């Protein structure tokens, strides 16, 4: 199954279980092409250029698993995630064409096959965003047996920002704050009903990010609801709907959501 994301912001393809037949070949092939190979946390990184040229990306990658664990209460992934860095778009295209010829071209890629998680990205001005976003997906799917689509994308949107910009620096924040001041509250139930990425447009990514931000930085009851929901997913316990949990703990959920963004300042 193919999943497309970011209709307006440089789409990224994510191919999940069974989508591609070449995963093991891609991981084990052409070792002499890599100028740099190193382990960063749970990530085994292979790169066509020296990774010390992008120290900020590596630093963020090194703390990403702990950032997720701290924010979400998740256990470490417990498995290796393979990350491939390419020197440019041409090399990246060639590699994907060789190993994943059926995959439409996009700027970055996460796929998982037979338990092996892989992230592919090429060097650009958006490399950090791409790697943080796709590696967030990889960590979530290494820890949880299933992740609701809206939550998967909302968390990736949140953690794609550099660590110091996640709380206050998202490009989504201004529009969500303005909507809250106008009394426009995105419907979480609408996000929960989306079954595939065809239903995720720019507003859905923004709204998914907004609910994640509310749960991570809003009332303690909201964060507790998220943690318990994720714990049930991790234990393969049917979790129900997160919206129902939030409404049970916060009967005035809409007001709490609006007040959170109206008052959110550095």
φ and ψ at residue 120, rounded to 5 degrees: -125, 135
User: Using CA atoms in the order 223, 157, 231, 253, what is the torsion angle rounded to 10 degrees?
Assistant: 30
Please list the residues that pair with 43 across neighbouring strands: 40, 81
Q: How far apart are the first and last CA of the chain?
A: 41
Can you give the pLDDT at residue 101? 87
- Given a contact cutoff of 8 angstroms between Cβ atoms, the answer to whether 3 and 198 are in contact is no
Can you give the pLDDT at residue 5? 40
The single residue listed with the structure tokens 């959110």 is 264
Distances from the Cα of 72 to the Cα of 2, 222, 234, 259, angstroms:
27, 12, 12, 23
Distance from C-alpha of 13 to C-alpha of 133, rounded to nearest angstrom: 12
Can you give the pLDDT at residue 23? 56
| Mode of pairing for the β-strands spanning 36-40 and 81-86 | unpaired
State pLDDT tens for residues 98-157. Answer: 998 888 788 999 988 888 999 999 999 999 999 999 999 999 999 999 999 999 999 999
- Given a contact cutoff of 8 angstroms between Cβ atoms, the answer to whether 190 and 262 are in contact is no
Please tell me the pTM assigned to this model. 0.90
172-199 CB burial, b ≥16 within 10 A, e <16 = bbeebbebbeeeebbebeebbebeebee
The single residue listed with the structure tokens 């417990």 is 78
Domains of the chain: 2-143 (3.40.30.160), 163-263 (no CATH)
The length of the chain is 266
Distance from C-alpha of 112 to C-alpha of 2, rounded to nearest angstrom: 11
Can you give the pLDDT at residue 20? 40
Distance from C-alpha of 126 to C-alpha of 263, rounded to nearest angstrom: 30
Q: Which two tokens stand for residue 141?
A: 């799917």
φ and ψ at residue 194, rounded to 5 degrees: -75, 125
Can you give the pLDDT at residue 18? 40
Q: Please, what are the averages of pLDDT over each run of 10 residues along the chain (266 residues)?
A: 37 41 57 92 98 97 97 93 98 93 86 91 98 98 97 98 97 98 98 94 98 99 98 97 98 98 94
State the SS3 of 8-37. Answer: CCCCEEEECCCCCCCHHHHHHCCHHHCCEE
């Amino acid at each position: 199954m193919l999943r497309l994301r970011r209709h307006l912001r440089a789409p990224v393809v994510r191919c999940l279980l069974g989508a591609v037949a070449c995963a093991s070949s891609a991981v084990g092939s052409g070792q002499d092409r890599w100028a740099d190979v190193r382990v960063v946390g749970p990530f085994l990184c292979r790169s066509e250029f020296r990774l010390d040229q992008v120290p900020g990306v590596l630093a963020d990658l090194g703390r990403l698993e702990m950032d997720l664990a701290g924010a979400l209460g998740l256990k470490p992934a417990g498995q290796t995630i393979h990350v491939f860095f390419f020197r440019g778009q041409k090399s990246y295209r060639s590699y994907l064409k060789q190993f994943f010829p059926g995959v439409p071209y996009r700027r970055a890629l996460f796929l998982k096959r037979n338990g092996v998680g892989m992230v592919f990205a090429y060097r650009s001005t958006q490399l950090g965003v791409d790697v943080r976003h796709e590696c967030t997906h990889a960590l979530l799917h290494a820890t949880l047996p299933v992740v609701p689509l809206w939550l998967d994308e909302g968390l990736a949107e949140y953690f794609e920002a550099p660590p110091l910009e996640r709380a206050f620096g998202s490009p989504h924040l201004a529009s969500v704050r303005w909507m809250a001041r106008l009394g426009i509250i995105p419907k979480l139930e609408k996000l929960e009903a989306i079954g595939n990425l065809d239903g995720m447009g720019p507003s859905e990514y923004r709204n998914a990010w907004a609910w994640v931000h509310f749960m991570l930085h809003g009332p303690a009851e909201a964060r507790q609801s998220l943690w318990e929901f994720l714990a049930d997913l991790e234990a393969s316990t049917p979790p129900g709907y997160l919206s129902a949990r939030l409404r049970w703990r916060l009967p005035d959920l809409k007001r709490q959501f609006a007040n959170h963004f109206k008052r959110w300042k550095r």
